[in-house]
Structure 1
């Protein structure tokens, strides 16, 4: 067999293998998805100020990552810092590991290592800690069904289930309440 005949035979086999491979790839059906697998939008390292119905500040949000889910329009946020005005010109600083904002944007669901810092009516610092906290910015109410610890100078209060009015700075525990009072020195 001459070298030309061998080359023609190799080229013929290569052409047949290529045609067979192209035919097999074309014959496989495309996989259809139920919807987009990616977010509607993504924000990185941002600050956002949300306004209420009257045009007043509802809350300010700072976070490294925000993603809106395309099907249910909810928003997932990583390590958020919410600044919630209390009505007296001060802010509650509320942090958590994750947060979810409802599609209507009227509920904030903070999860894992939630910590809220503000002031009481006497202007002293107050700290709340829990694992879950739901905030309703329009009514300035926060609530939790989990164990909550509130610390302020001279006292610590713990309980399960709590509701706090962020504007009036009044809170109410629902069960398992324990209080520890440490008088100040005079």
Structure 2
């Protein structure tokens, strides 16, 4: 009986040793991660011009300003006192100024913060227009603008004032949403 117990213990010890040896022979430890360097740092730019292109390589918008700061956590940009140009698919672009601007990482959203003035020159598709408002949400990829603030739209022969505005840059439509008041210049008789 003692001899039988010794054989069982020896067989178990041999099985444990073989298991341990096979484990270390076939075990491949995880390789250490490749060194990729420190995370991308924040940066600032002074006196810059940013030209953003769409997926087809056409100009989407341009921002020129005295200062830009990039946020490291989400890649967004903060711009002080920008002069901007938002391209239209057809016709004249909108040019303007705002107190500051926020641009998300992929350039699909701009917040033109503070007082905003924008103007469009006349062409064959649409007449000249000037917009004065604040805090404009711009979607350059969709060629769309909107604000919930009071807005004034000035065009030759008319001044429109209201609260809230939507603009479709593709169709050249400007829409005031509420409390709309209009002043029209009298037409001259020939």
Whether the TM-score (by the shorter chain) exceeds 0.5 is yes
1:40 equivalent in structure 2 = 42
Alpha-carbon distance in 1 for matches of 2:184, 2:160: 9
* TM-score, length basis structure 2: 0.72
Alpha-carbon distance in 2 for matches of 1:184, 1:123: 19
Aligned residue for 1:72, secondary structure, equals: coil
Alpha-carbon distance in 2 for matches of 1:167, 1:95: 21
How much has 1:122 moved relative to structure 2? 6.0
1:175 equivalent in structure 2 = 178
Alpha-carbon distance in 1 for matches of 2:85, 2:106: 19
How much has 1:128 moved relative to structure 2? 0.3
2:156 equivalent in structure 1 = 153
Match of 2:144 among 141, 158, 161: 141
Alpha-carbon spacing, 1:116–1:142, altered in 2? closer, same or farther (3 Å): same
Count of residues in correspondence between the two structures: 149
- Report which of the two structures shows the higher radius of gyration computed on alpha carbons: 2
How much has 1:101 moved relative to structure 2? 0.8
2:112 equivalent in structure 1 = 110
Q: Is residue 2:75 matched to residue 1:77?
A: no
Alpha-carbon distance in 2 for matches of 1:142, 1:42: 27
Contact kept? 2:51, 2:61, Cα under 8 Å: yes
Match of 1:57 among 59, 63, 66: 59
Contact kept? 2:52, 2:107, Cα under 8 Å: no
Alpha-carbon distance in 1 for matches of 2:103, 2:96: 14
Give the gaps of 5 or more residues in structure 2. Answer: 1-38
Q: RMSD in angstroms over aligned alpha carbons?
A: 1.9
Superposed CA deviations along residues 126-172 of structure 1, whole A, max 9, x for unmatched, are 10011111110001000001111000111011111110011221012
Aligned residue for 1:96, secondary structure, equals: strand
Alpha-carbon distance in 2 for matches of 1:118, 1:67: 28
